[in-house]
A = this chain, B = another copy of it.
Amino acid sequence: MDLAPPRSARARTDTAARPLEAAAVRSWDAADPLRDFRERFELPPDVVYLDGNSLGALPRSTRERLAQVISAEWGMGLIRSWNDSDWIGAPRRVGDKIARLIGAQPGEVIVADSTSANLYKLIHVALAARPDRSEILSEPGNFPSDLYVIEGALRATPGRVLRLEPAERIADCISENTALVVLTHVHYKSASVHDMRAITARAHEHGALVIWDLSHSAGAVEVDVGACNVDMAVGCGYKYLNGGPGAPAYLFVARRHQATAVSPLSGWMGHGRPFDFVDRYEPARGIERFLCGTPPILGVLSLECGVDLLLEAGAAQLQAKSRRLSELFIALVQEMCSDSGLRLLSPADASARGSHLAYAHPHGYAIMRALIDRGVIGDFRAPDALRFGFTPLYLRYADIWTAVITLRDVLRTQCWSEPRYAARAAVT
């Protein structure tokens, strides 16, 4: 038996031309360089969690750190902890850590607000920098909040329009009219990856700016905003970064843009001298100018614990395991669930997708409900997509085996004919 993890599970099944065996899959876990990270998370027993792309799991270090922050820093330190525990420096400190995950430099990333609020800030920055251009370019089906936020920013900005073009046409549609391109690097549903380097370069050729949403990338997919010469980016703290429910988000602004970029959400924490309490706004010199209100300390410090684990694992290892997990899932579905009506919506080529997979099925909602009832937690995205996320820090190859066996059983039982699975409700 070959104990070394194969380059790809699909390649292995193709060449071996025989079914994958549970024992083989277990042997990959034994050889997994990230195998010890699972024990550093709190995970419910009897659950295979394939939704870490929606809400990352709880690191044990986070639980301990938050207990300390709450009891010692808030409870005993009280207001003094802004200085004594450096709460005041936390948004920048954690931003600098996230910078290392995405190829940014220190001082180019800050933790603040939500992804949507951060996108709003950066859209205004971009529009102010390109006053004579009329278009913001994005794609239909982009993560809806990104589109809604563009709408919101344009509502008070007459003379600008949102132009939606299919992903494959985006590069060709960038023109001298384009002020800004707003794209999600890894698509939230299909997991398709945009060519960050090529689209950014194309935008720059035409004098346009680009904002990348890294919410489904950072922490699972290698990202290098520096090498790709990215202008600005935003990203989510509660998915692959394991910052906890509703954790604060982050934003990246390349240093070359910072001096002229002023946030519309110019709250006091973005002021150069917030504790002088002067009446006029003077933005802080660096990335701190993108802070708005008082930072949400529990969330920022929770996020820091999650990011620390990712940095310890390393972005290259994370991406390598993420791909092996999803390749294995695809191969097992091919083997065990053929003729089930499942159709892969994600790119078949691992290098063209992020760290989750989407499958269409006419009874997708019922199937996901039944899977969750059996302890395999993925999620559902309307109208028909089952989504399975592969978080390399706490998933084992054996979990993928369990998940697909369960999926096979659910499909065999035709759960959608059961009344309890018929009604559709929100699955966040």
Interface residues of A, dominant DSSP: mixed
Choose among A124, A143, A147, A296 the residue with the greatest number of B CB atoms under 10 Å from its CB: A296
A413 within 8 A of B: no
Are A281's CB and B148's CB within 8 A?
A: yes
Are A116's CB and B299's CB within 8 A?
A: no
Are A71 and B58 also in contact (CB < 8 A) when A281-B151, A300-B246 are? yes
Report the stretch among A194-202, A260-268, A322-330, A403-411 that lies at the interface. Answer: A260-268
Instruction: Enumerate chain B residues within 8 angstroms of A144, measured Cβ to Cβ.
Output: 268, 271, 274, 277-279
Instruction: Enumerate chain B residues within 8 angstroms of A280, measured Cβ to Cβ.
Output: 147, 151
Instruction: Enumerate chain B residues within 8 angstroms of A88, measured Cβ to Cβ.
Output: 426, 428
Extra contacts, 12 of them, besides A82-B245, A114-B292 (Cβ < 8 A), are A55-B78, A57-B75, A58-B70, A66-B70, A74-B245, A116-B267, A120-B264, A145-B268, A151-B266, A152-B267, A275-B426, A298-B298
Are A148's CB and B117's CB within 8 A?
A: no
A38 within 8 A of B: no
A95 within 8 A of B: no
Instruction: Enumerate chain B residues within 8 angstroms of A275, measured Cβ to Cβ.
Output: 382, 426-428
Contact of A156 among B156, B189, B249 (CB under 8 A): B156
CB distance from A20 to the nearest CB of B (A): 27
Are A297's CB and B244's CB within 8 A?
A: yes
Question: Which A253-273 residues have C-beta < 8 A from chain B?
Answer: 262-271
A177 within 8 A of B: no
Are B81's CB and A279's CB within 8 A?
A: no
